[in-house]
């Protein structure tokens, strides 16, 4: 497998180390890990133990950097354009309705024995957890094999179903059904991550990065202070955020 490019499946010629780049190397041009760029652009799951090729060829690396930069530009431009529209809107009721549409699926702040490391970034923290989460019940396990064994014992078995002339894609862990393979892959990618994200301003924890990013873009707490009423105090925001914590990260009891 290591003789094939992860992106184009082309074979590497000879043993020239410059002809290939590891998925887990960080590019000097943008301080981005190649695997994360592939996950972001391709909406696929990339991990060390998937037994798939761990290198990309030089040509694909160039195209990947271009695609990643374009995707980043699209997101930044979309955020800037939406901010321009929001600044022109004075109806606070309408703004509140937009905020309520943002997914707010959260988890309780993990305990010390669940945390591997904490990285502080501006107004939020990236919390790396010890283990892998089960997307069916949010229990924490030490490896993917333990998650799979737990799924078979507690959540049954899964398969791709045929219903009314359409395929139904079912998560092999929690058995939630998705209308297409891409949505199933996104679901798996979100819960295979061992990171959660804590907003230090609003005291809210998010289980995937996308929900944190949407919160930072649309929450009034992260807009220009001059645009917010003075009565929106930090204590009030924190009190509101704590009420949203609905799921608890926990480890299974040991025998």
> Is 57 assigned a ligand-binding role in the annotation?
yes
Closest residue by Cα to residue 247 from 204, 216, 190: 204
For residue 130, give every residue at least 6 positions away whose Cβ sits within 8 Å of its Cβ, in sequence order, or none: 113, 114, 115, 116, 140, 142, 194
> Is 171 assigned a ligand-binding role in the annotation?
no
Give the three-state DSSP class for 253.
coil
> Is 8 assigned a ligand-binding role in the annotation?
yes
> Is 41 assigned a ligand-binding role in the annotation?
no
DSSP H helices, the chain, are 34-42, 58-88, 92-100, 144-154, 181-192, 209-218, 234-243
How many whole angstroms separate alpha carbon 227 and alpha carbon 159?
51
User: Binding site: what residues are annotated?
Assistant: 5, 8, 57, 60
Residue numbers belonging to the annotated binding site for Zn(2+): 5, 8, 57, 60
């Amino acid at each position: 497998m290591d003789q094939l490019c992860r992106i184009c499946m082309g074979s590497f010629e000879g043993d020239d180390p410059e002809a290939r780049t590891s998925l887990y190397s960080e590019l000097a041009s943008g301080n981005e890990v190649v695997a994360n760029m592939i996950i972001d652009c391709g909406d696929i799951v990339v991990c060390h133990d998937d037994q798939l090729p761990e290198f990309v060829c030089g040509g694909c690396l160039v195209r990947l950097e271009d695609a990643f930069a374009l995707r980043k530009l699209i997101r930044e431009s979309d955020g800037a354009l939406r901010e321009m529209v929001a600044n022109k809107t004075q109806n606070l009721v309408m703004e509140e309705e937009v905020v309520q549409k943002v997914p707010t699926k959260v988890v309780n702040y993990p305990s010390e024995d669940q945390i591997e490391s904490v990285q502080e970034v501006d107004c939020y923290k990236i919390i790396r957890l010890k283990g892998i989460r089960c997307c069916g019940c949010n229990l924490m396990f030490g490896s993917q094999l333990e998650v799979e064994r737990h799924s078979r014992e507690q959540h049954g078995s899964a398969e791709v179903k045929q219903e009314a002339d359409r395929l139904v894609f079912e998560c092999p862990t929690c058995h939630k059904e998705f209308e297409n393979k891409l949505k199933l892959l996104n679901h798996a990618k979100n819960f295979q991550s061992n990171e959660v994200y804590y907003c230090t301003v609003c005291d809210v924890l998010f289980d995937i990065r996308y929900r944190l990013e949407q919160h930072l873009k649309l929450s009034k707490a992260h807009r220009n202070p001059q645009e917010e009423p003075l009565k929106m105090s930090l204590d009030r925001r924190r009190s509101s955020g704590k009420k949203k914590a609905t799921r608890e990260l926990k480890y299974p009891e040991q025998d």
